[in-house]
């Protein structure tokens, strides 16, 4: 079966891009990275893309007079590679509403908190300051309002006594690298249904075969 063609937008380190590249190597993964775009010339993720032999483009927002022109350049690059799903992976530019509408339900993001808690920047420091016991990550469809949109997959990690923003970030990154490929694979395999502004997962099971996100009529676990 043809794999879903991904366009991955990055600005920096690209460890989530790497997780998608690594997932690519698995035979049953439903997607492939068709294009990597960075808006920063020094993004390490660009080197990761080149090392993996992937098409990579630098599209710097500094080269465009307006957000719309920058967004249009992104559109052109993504369409030229036949991208079907755009994955934001540490992409540090706000996309215009036109771009978000054009890619509606074909544009996803990963955020390093359990949304809708802790939207925005400087997440791990704020999580620790709030004294919450759990943090994690969220993969969600993108809507015009930042860090908002139907939630596809979340992964939770504990916040430990003595954590710093750096130690918590490292723990969250580990779960991100599982959640992003999982969310992409579920979309590629048609297991993600958007109902209103929520997602329903269709026939997705945990390691013990139990349904995740069951509906009222689904069979009860044995």
Question: Which residues contact ligand GRF (rule: CB under 6 A)?
Answer: 12-16, 89-90, 110-112, 137, 176
Instruction: Compute the least distance from the CB of residue 140 to ligand GRF, in Å.
Output: 11
Q: Which is nearer to ligand GRF, 122 or 218 (CB)?
A: 122
Q: How far is the CB of 127 from ligand GRF (least distance, A)?
A: 12
Question: From the CB of 100, what's the least distance to ligand GRF, in Å?
Answer: 16
Shortest distance (Å) from residue 107 CB to ligand GRF:
14
Kindly tell me which of 80 and 94 has the beta carbon lying closer to ligand GRF: 94
- For residue 219, the minimal CB distance to ligand GRF (Å) is 35
Nearer to ligand GRF, 80 or 129 (CB): 129
Beta pairing class for 56-58 and 31-38: parallel
- Residue 199 tokens read as 């997602």
The catalytic residue positions are: 111
Q: Which is nearer to ligand GRF, 89 or 203 (CB)?
A: 89
d(CA 109, CA 88): 5
State how far the Cα of 52 lies from the Cα of 138, in Å rounded to an integer: 26
Residue closest to ligand GRF, measured at CB: 90
**For 110-176, what is the HEC assignment?**
EECCCCCCCCCCCHHHHHHHHCCCEEEEEEEECCCCCCCCCEEEEEEEECCCCCCHHHHHHHHHHHH
Closest CB to ligand GRF among residues 117, 202: 117
Q: Look at residues 154, 176, 98, 160 and name the one whose alpha carbon lies nearest to residue 128.
A: 160
Helices 165-188 and 123-130: angle between axes, nearest 10 degrees: 110
User: At residue 154, what are phi and psi to the nearest 5 degrees?
Assistant: -130, 150
Residue 167, both tokens: 């130690």
């Amino acid at each position: 079966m043809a794999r879903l063609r991904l366009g991955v937008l990055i600005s920096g380190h690209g460890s989530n891009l790497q997780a998608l590249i690594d997932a690519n190597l698995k035979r049953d993964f439903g997607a492939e990275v068709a294009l990597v775009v960075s808006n920063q010339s020094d993004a390490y993720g660009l080197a990761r893309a080149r090392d993996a032999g992937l098409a990579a483009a630098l599209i710097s927002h500094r080269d465009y007079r307006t957000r719309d022109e920058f967004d249009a350049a992104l559109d052109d690059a993504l369409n030229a590679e036949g991208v079907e799903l755009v994955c934001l992976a540490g992409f540090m530019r706000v996309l215009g509403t036109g771009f978000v509408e054009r890619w509606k339900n074909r544009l996803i993001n990963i955020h390093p908190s359990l949304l809708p808690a802790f939207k925005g920047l400087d997440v791990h420091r704020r999580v620790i300051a709030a004294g919450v016991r759990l943090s994690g990550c969220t993969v969600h469809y993108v809507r015009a309002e930042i860090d908002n949109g139907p939630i596809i997959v979340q992964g939770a990690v504990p916040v430990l006594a003595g954590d710093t923003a750096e130690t918590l970030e490292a723990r969250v990154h580990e779960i991100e690298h599982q959640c992003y490929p999982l969310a992409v694979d579920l979309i590629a395999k048609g297991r993600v249904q958007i109902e209103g502004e929520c997602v329903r997962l269709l026939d997705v099971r945990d390691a013990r075969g139990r349904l995740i996100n069951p509906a009222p009529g689904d069979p009860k676990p044995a």
